[in-house]
A and B are shown apart, each in its own frame.
Chain A
Amino acid sequence: MDSFRSKIIPVTTILAAVVVAWYVFAVVLNAPFQRDLDQRANETPGTAEFIGKTLSQPKPTLPAPHQVAVNFFENTFLRSVTSNRSLVYNAWVTLSSTLLGFAFGTALGIVIAVGIVHVATLDRSLMPWVIASQTIPILAVAPMIIVVLAAVGITGLIPKALISTYLSFFPVTVGMVKGLRSPELMHLDLMHTYNASRAQTFWKLRVPASVPFLFTSMKVAVAASLVGAIVGELPTGAVAGIGAKLLSGAYYSQSIDIWSALVAGSIVAALLVMVVGVAGRLVDRAMGGRPA
């Protein structure tokens, strides 16, 4: 609790500084356009009135925080959940493909990791490619995967989830390989003296030892799979989802919409990471782990 309190003051200070800087930038960035408008309307507003106007443009270069907050509030709480302008609806669309991709990715990552730990051939031949696969900017392939799968007749959740899968399997694989290899030689030898079979060693020693690694890498994976789902929505022609909101906002220069979609995405990301973290702690406690 002490560390929490020693953090909260600096964090809030810096967040406050960010908000102040945001307002300053909003005024500065929106000023040229506002001056243009005033000149055309032959108005010469005072400084205070001018600043007020720069902060309430309908399509500002940089929307002020309160504009984003109002837009976010309206689109989240005041709209019915089924409306396709509702952020809750769009966040749900993105969230569902994120979760599906995350589940696939975690399962795939665990399977690959188990294979790599137990089969020497896979370790030598597959592991370098798992690492190399991440130097490929896979997000660039997203539009093609979507379009090609749509040509075969697969649309909706699955294509987006596949992109999320690709992004999220990597951290899980690397983390699980590390975790499954984390038992010390001493513990492995102990299992050996018990005459434990490979399967018993795996289930009773390696799996429990790898659980903390699994949850740490799942936190990274869930954030990555949200990014995958958002980017996967870009080429679908802006139907629904947070990515679609971003794209339609970009087309019609609805900057406030873009920002509130970004806020929604960030909240979803923070919630997902938090849920994985809490689940990790619960599992840890259920397994008899004590807080270090």
Chain B
Amino acid sequence: MSWLKPSWQGLLAILLCLIALALGAMSKPEAAALAQPEASFDYPYLATKGLMFGLLLLAALASMARLSTIVEALVLFIGAHLAAWLLITGINGYEGTALAPFFLLLAAAWLLGWRCVAVLSSLRPVANWVRTALRLIIPAIFGAWILIIWEAVTRGAGIPFILLPPPSAIGARIAGSLPVLGADVRQTIFKAVIFGYVVGSGAGFLAAIAADRVPFLRRGLLPIGNMVSALPIIGVAPIMVMWFGFDWQSKAAVVIIMTFFPMLVNTVAGLAASGHMERDLMRTYASGYWPTLIKLRLPAAAPFIFNALKINSTLALIGAIVAEFFGTPVVGMGFRISTEVGRMNIDMVWAEIAVAALAGSVFYGVVALVERAVTFWHPSVRGG
């Protein structure tokens, strides 16, 4: 038995497949067809049933054979995903009629997908680009499986559209309403978020420099800043809407307030990060406050400042969207979310959330990239 190695995911997947085979009908129409063999019913998986079982069993067996890891991962990847794809496309037109074997097969495919990820993450490649590719592929497979399970369960079990639309419907909705989404993004992100983020972070930075220059101010501001960061600042949104009106200015004001304090606290902490030795060295060079600040202490504070910028990128988006719940012109992501929820257009809400998530990730990613470029000297970036 030297060609065999145990894999609990593979064994469990085979077991699930066998139970599914024993249970028989995959869907209600098929069960009806089996009950009345003389009548001709149309039912899903007429042609693909054997193929799916074959694929899953083959992949499960392959995962237990002593193959090279690359081949094993490839077989698992193709087997699990092709079977899942067949499952999802097969149910088309028969939504909500799936029986237990459908979900058993889905679980088996998922187990094989997990095995695939496990095999991939046990790889220790030497080449740099392979390692980077793996770092992207492994989470991508995980994310893809969330979508696959979501799609298969919503369609197989026929979950009402109002509760949870399948991802494919959300994708279609995004593609179908690009102009509306574009207008919302322009209103919320390009006007309120960017302006508020730049002004709020800039003001926090300047306040931190002032606090650094005046120790009295620092001793007073830091405890207050620390306390404020625990407060639900988002609550000032209605006040800002009362002051600055319904348009984007009030949202920018909320964003400014939300981003100010994280920047202040982090920058002050960062300015204290440079070591005594380095500061003494600058002193022996007869460097004054400002040259020391620019040449030594600000670069040393850069990781802290970028940390604040990253925190703020998420806070800014949240602040602007939530502030729109309190009143806006008839455009904007928060406005769209709250009105479409009221009209039960849940797919539009999910489309808006997907756009917001994408925008948030891009925003965060841009800040992270700038950080890598600016703090290239820092150990956490050099990876040493």
Contact = CB atoms under 8 A, between A and B. Distances in A.
A40 interface: no
Contact of A259 (B227, B239, B334): B239
B220 A13 contact: yes
Contact of A121 (B114, B164, B360): B114
Contact of B353 (A121, A140, A234, A259): A140
B236 A262 contact: yes
B143 interface: yes
Nearest to B241: A250
Given A125-B139, A135-B361, A261 B242 contact: no
Interface in B257-277: none
A6 interface: yes
A136 B120 CA distance: 27
Interface string A230-271: 110011000000110011011001010011011001100110
A226 B242 contact: no
Contact of B238 (A61, A152, A219, A247): A247
Interface residues of B, number: 64
B220 A129 contact: no
B383 to A, nearest CB: 16
B interface: dominant SS:
helix
A14 interface: yes
A253 B241 CA distance: 10
Interface string A8-51: 00110111000000000000010000000000000000000000
Contacts of B224: 11, 14-15
B334 A135 contact: no
Given A143-B338, A253-B242, A258-B239, A269 B232 contact: yes
B321 A234 contact: no
Given A140-B356, A223-B230, A230 B235 contact: yes
Contacts of A135: 313-314, 357, 360-361, 363-364
A120 interface: yes
A226 B232 contact: yes
A148 B163 contact: yes
Interface in A139-198: 139-141, 143-144, 147-148, 151-152
Given A125-B117, A250-B242, A140 B333 contact: yes
A interface: dominant SS:
helix
B223 interface: yes
A273 interface: yes
Given A121-B118, A136-B353, A11 B219 contact: yes
Contacts of A7: 219-220, 223
Nearest to A136: B357
A124 B121 contact: yes
B349 to A, nearest CB: 5
A247 B241 CA distance: 12
B43 to A, nearest CB: 30
Nearest to A13: B220
Contact of A129 (B143, B218, B219, B236): B143
B349 A10 contact: no
Contacts of B364: 135
Contact of A141 (B120, B163, B164, B353): B353
A269 B231 CA distance: 6
Interface in A89-130: 120-121, 123-126, 128-129
A138 B325 CA distance: 14
B142 interface: yes
A61 B238 CA distance: 12
A265 B341 contact: no
Given A136-B357, A230-B232, 7 more contacts: A11-B223, A124-B120, A129-B139, A136-B361, A139-B234, A247-B326, A269-B230
Interface of B: 114, 117-118, 120-122, 134-135, 138-139, 141-143, 162-164, 216-221, 223-224, 227, 229-232, 234-239, 241-243, 313-314, 317-318, 321-322, 325-327, 333-334, 337-338, 341-342, 346, 349-350, 352-353, 356-357, 360-361, 363-364
27 contacts: A6-B219, A10-B216, A11-B223, A13-B220, A120-B121, A120-B122, A124-B134, A124-B138, A125-B141, A136-B356, A143-B338, A144-B349, A151-B162, A151-B163, A223-B231, A223-B232, A230-B234, A231-B234, A235-B341, A242-B235, A243-B235, A250-B241, A258-B235, A259-B239, A265-B235, A270-B227, A270-B231
